[in-house]
Structure 1
Amino acid sequence: MPRTAAAPLQALKPAPSRRHRAGAAARAAPEADTSATQRIVDAITTAIVERRLMPGTKLAEQKIADLFKVSRTLVRQALNQLSRDRLVTLEPARGAFVARPGVQEARQVFEVRQMLEAAMVRKLCAVITDAQIAELRAHLRAEREAVLRTDVPGRTRLLADFHMILARMVGNEVLAQLLTDLLSRSSLISLMYQSSHSAEHSQAEHVALVDALERRDARAAVKLLDAHLRNVERNLRLNPRVHDLDAALRPAG
């Protein structure tokens, strides 16, 4: 009988030892914890930016843990990170709350934004490409559509993202991260102090700024950006007209 050819030998990998398996699991656990913590941080930040979480809202640890199917320890880590970012206030014996920025903090946030974004726009004028202009035009169309259909969360996110896109086009990740933090805090400030500020007006100012960037006109771009941020700040009620209880409760006339 003809002999059947033997199957080629294959190298067998030794089964991982118990110690090796334990070590791999130990390395994977911190990575999973970090990912879960960041998911919670991102979700809360997005809810604040899109005006689904109001200043002063209590952030119950157990509810968040149940929602994300994680331990309260990971929720606490996320809340601590948000506290460092000034988006959450931790109060002893009371828990965590969405922050309520004061008037002085609001003014300081916009002052820092004006300094950072003016330098950002000035630099961007020197390096922006035609492809990036096209990307900004597409974003402006999305902004306009959200404004027209009165999509409040959508337009809020898009109007804030416009400034983030500019920062990323400069190519400086540190600047982009700083601006991300400032924009999140600006969203909280708007929630507390915003009057009848028109999203449509802000969108039109974005269009004018992109026009200046397309012309590579740094002076005009900086001037338009400064006016835009001042208009946003001006439309916040940072100068309350009533200063005491007697004045607040006294009948009109």
Structure 2
Amino acid sequence: MSKGVSTLKIVDPAKADKPTARKTRVTASGKSAAKSGSTQRIVDSVTTAIAERRLMPGTKLSEQKMGDIYNVSRTVVRQAFNQLSRDRLVVLEPARGAFVAMPTVAEARHVFAVRDILEAAVIRQLCPVITDPQIKELRYHLQIERSAVSDNEVSGRTRLLADFHIVLAQMLGNQVLVEMLSELLIRSSLIALMYQSSHSAEASLSEHVAIVDALEKRDVKDALRLMGKHLDNVLINLHLDPHSLDLAQILKA
């Protein structure tokens, strides 16, 4: 799994939409360490662009252009593409190059099915043990979400709405769970780019508020219901009906 999805932290609202740069670690291994750092920098950059819905599915990623952008060799770029390919964010096609992945309808359904299982587990474990300071932290996150939604900051609000789910998982202290959910959320961003119709950021924010209200009451049953409803609503706003791709049906319409 890629380390490009970093652990998320609540930050000052004024800095919420400014990604923190990852510093390349300098070691005695010299060029080897620098090359590794450059590879990860590209992986992080592409991953973030996908998560914030700035990089569209099917976009061709030229080795030469990427090398020029990051001032690295094509070998380093190729290493980054290989890592992104393993994370299913990039597809490598022989004689054609690298492309941002285009999830299928089946994959979209599978991703959300797994998210439903994982996020229900998060709620079920977290609700009985969540602390008042953690509730305060979630309220602060909702405040930042609300600010981004009000200001119509598309990339910022997209990231923050996704971060909400990661923050919940982080509160359990299980880094493996955090990384698994982070990967699914990145893939969800690709799916949304391809299939989303009119998903409302305002609606998602309201649903997040309701989930936190239930957590504050330590109402496991209601929190589970609200999280399930939230994920169902995201799916409702996706065009995943394969019949809509039938050419005869489209032309007759």
Q: Work out the CA distance in 2 between the residues paired with 1:114 and 1:244.
A: 29
Q: Residue 245 in 1 paired to residue 239 in 2? A: no
Q: Work out the CA distance in 1 between the residues paired with 2:27 and 2:73.
A: 18
Deviations 1:81-108 (A, max 9, x none): 1111111111000000000000000000
How far is 1:70 from its partner?
Answer: 1.1
Find 2:170's aligned residue among 168, 171, 175.
168
Contact 2:141 2:164 in 1 (8 A): yes
Structure number with larger C-alpha Rg: 1
How far is 1:234 from its partner?
Answer: 1.2
Deviations 1:208-244 (A, max 9, x none): 0011111111111111111100110111000144343
TM-score between the two structures when normalised by the length of structure 2: 0.87
Find 2:221's aligned residue among 219, 222, 225.
219
Q: Work out the CA distance in 2 between the residues paired with 1:186 and 1:25.
A: 36
Q: Work out the CA distance in 1 between the residues paired with 2:31 and 2:169.
A: 34
Report the 3-state secondary structure (helix = DSSP H, G, I; strand = E; otherwise coil) of the residue aligned with 1:27. coil
- The equivalent residue for 1:138 is 140
Report the 3-state secondary structure (helix = DSSP H, G, I; strand = E; otherwise coil) of the residue aligned with 1:39. helix
Q: Work out the CA distance in 1 between the residues paired with 2:85 and 2:128.
A: 37
Change in CA separation of 1:128 and 1:183 when aligned onto 2, cut-off 3 Å = same
Q: Work out the CA distance in 2 between the residues paired with 1:206 and 1:234.
A: 17
Deviations 1:146-195 (A, max 9, x none): 11111111110000011111111110000000011000000000000001
How far is 1:245 from its partner?
Answer: 2.2
Q: Residue 157 in 1 paired to residue 171 in 2? A: no
How far is 1:25 from its partner?
Answer: 7.5
Q: Work out the CA distance in 1 between the residues paired with 2:112 and 2:241.
A: 15
- The equivalent residue for 1:83 is 85
Q: Work out the CA distance in 2 between the residues paired with 1:110 and 1:244.
A: 24
- The equivalent residue for 1:55 is 57
User: Which residue type is aligned with residue 38 of structure 2?
Assistant: A
Q: Work out the CA distance in 2 between the residues paired with 1:29 and 1:174.
A: 30
- The equivalent residue for 1:124 is 126
Higher mean C-alpha deviation, range 235-244 or range 33-42? 235-244
Q: Residue 98 in 1 paired to residue 115 in 2? A: no
Q: Work out the CA distance in 1 between the residues paired with 2:211 and 2:180.
A: 21
Deviations 1:52-100 (A, max 9, x none): 1100000111111111111111111111111111111110000000000
Q: Work out the CA distance in 2 between the residues paired with 1:243 and 1:57.
A: 21
User: Which residue type is aligned with residue 154 of structure 2?
Assistant: V
Report the 3-state secondary structure (helix = DSSP H, G, I; strand = E; otherwise coil) of the residue aligned with 2:30. helix
Query: Please, which runs of 5 or more residues in structure 1 have no aligned partner?
Result: 1-23
Change in CA separation of 1:156 and 1:26 when aligned onto 2, cut-off 3 Å = same
TM-score between the two structures when normalised by the length of structure 1: 0.87
Q: Residue 186 in 1 paired to residue 188 in 2? A: yes
Report the 3-state secondary structure (helix = DSSP H, G, I; strand = E; otherwise coil) of the residue aligned with 2:103. coil
Contact 1:100 1:188 in 2 (8 A): yes
User: Which residue type is aligned with residue 36 of structure 2?
Assistant: T
User: Which residue type is aligned with residue 46 of structure 1?
Assistant: T
User: Which residue type is aligned with residue 55 of structure 2?
Assistant: L
Give the root-mean-square deviation of aligned CA atoms.
Answer: 1.5
How far is 1:29 from its partner?
Answer: 2.6
Q: Work out the CA distance in 1 between the residues paired with 2:154 and 2:97.
A: 29
Contact 2:27 2:33 in 1 (8 A): no
Matched ranges for 1:61-80 at <5 A: 61-80=63-82
Change in CA separation of 1:151 and 1:96 when aligned onto 2, cut-off 3 Å = same
